[in-house]
Amino acid sequence: MNTVTRAQLAESIYTQVGLSRNESADLLETVLERISAALSDGESVKISGFGTFSVRQKGRRIGRNPKTGVEVPILPRRVLVFRPSQVLKAHVNHVKPPEGGGDDE
């Protein structure tokens, strides 16, 4: 299983868009920083045809240590959630996307 890296994404921008390597890396960093900032501020980020990133608040709850069985409090926290679009789901499963783009998820 391979992982796509920032360097590979920047290289793709360089080859497909025609910016210099430095400009491509800067563009990628700017986009990633903007997404991160929006999520940190509690905003959702929707990328059409790809999916939606959002932050959810999880409340305090009681968990259990699986080894000892002892109950432990789990503190409230924010978690990052990604919901892929219908287009992305279809692409991953190698099927034709639904009519109308299916961009709402």
When pLDDT is averaged across residues 2-15 and rounded to a whole number, the result is: 94
Distance CA 66, CA 62 (A): 13
Angle of helix 6-17 versus helix 21-40 axis, rounded to 10:
120
Per-residue pLDDT, 102: 52
Per-residue pLDDT, 97: 76
Taking only the tens place, the pLDDT of each residue in 19-54 is: 999 999 999 999 999 999 999 999 999 999 999 999
Per-residue pLDDT, 96: 85
Q: Classify burial at 85, counting beta carbons within 10 Å of its beta carbon; exposed 0-12, middle 13-18, buried 19 or more.
A: buried
Per-residue pLDDT, 92: 93
Percentages of the chain per state (helix, strand, coil), in multiples of 5: 35, 25, 35
